[in-house]
Amino acid sequence: MSGKAEKVKKTKTLIIASYGLQPKHVTLETLAVLKKCGIVFSHCLDRGGKDLLARSCARFEPLRGLSLAETAGRVKKAFSSYDTVGFITYGNPFFLNATTALINKEMAAAGIAVAVLPAISSFDSIVNLLDLNKFSLNGLRLVDTAAAMEQMKFTPAMDTLFFVVGDLNLKGNEKYRAAFLKGLEENYPAKHPVTIINCPTIENDLGRLVKTSVSKFKTVFSKADLVSTILVPGVPPSGGQDRGKRGK
């Protein structure tokens, strides 16, 4: 055994945390962990008006306006100066979040450990906004519209939440939007309810609900943006009420 003391290599760790849907939702656990980071980045916060989070960090740097690749690159570069780096996002960090998905992949390739703190997501808020206390007998289906738009499938027997549905309104997705609207009309009764949901967030303090029907949905679909979700309840079995729904 050598008489020289071997230098122990420190583990580099990225802490991915979230403030929830609004900065006031941040937990004490999250604040305590952020204080231990050498630097903390965020793609959704800037210094102005967010002093509570900024003051909880030894150093805070906003990354708003950068591309996904630029954001991941800036986070990875920080490990040349720090052993523990933080990244603040919104919602539940790994729930339909392209930025954290890419960062997690980049960290794995670089051999950097990742620790993730849970937080409230848009799904949690939707459950309360719409009183989804019980689901249809066939359950609840969650759809990533952006990923599924080219091969969209409808399951009218199930309650369905279509997340990031506003991607269908982006330029270049016109044929997928038309196919989606046609699919709704072919699979659901004309008077069947549809709700566009924007949860209260940092971008929209009050949130927004637009209630309509399948036949009228295409006239209001332009109101769906990149953070909109739509709920299409399951169609009750013929000749009876879906027992999974509460009577109101």
Rg (CA), the chain: 22
Domain that holds residue 20: 13-116
| pLDDT per residue rounded down to tens, the chain (248 residues) | 455 555 556 789 999 999 998 888 899 999 999 999 999 999 988 764 456 788 888 899 999 889 999 999 999 999 999 999 999 999 999 999 999 999 999 999 999 999 999 998 999 889 888 888 888 989 999 999 999 999 999 999 999 999 999 999 999 999 999 999 999 999 999 999 999 999 888 777 778 899 999 999 999 999 888 889 999 999 988 744 453 444 43
Q: Is the dihedral of CA 88, 91, 97, 101 positive or negative?
A: positive
- Same domain? For 225 and 144 the reply is yes
Is residue 192 in some structural domain? Answer: yes
CATH at residue 182: 3.30.950.10
- My answer on whether 101 and 191 are in the same domain is no
Decide if 72 is inside a domain: yes
Same domain for 149 and 182, yes or no, is yes
Any domain includes 4: no
Of 33, 36, 5, 35, give the one whose Cα is nearest residue 17. Answer: 33
Do 195 and 210 lie in a common domain?
yes
What pTM was estimated for this model as a whole?
A: 0.83
Q: Which CATH number is 36's domain given? A: 3.40.1010.10
* Same-domain pairing of 136 and 193: yes
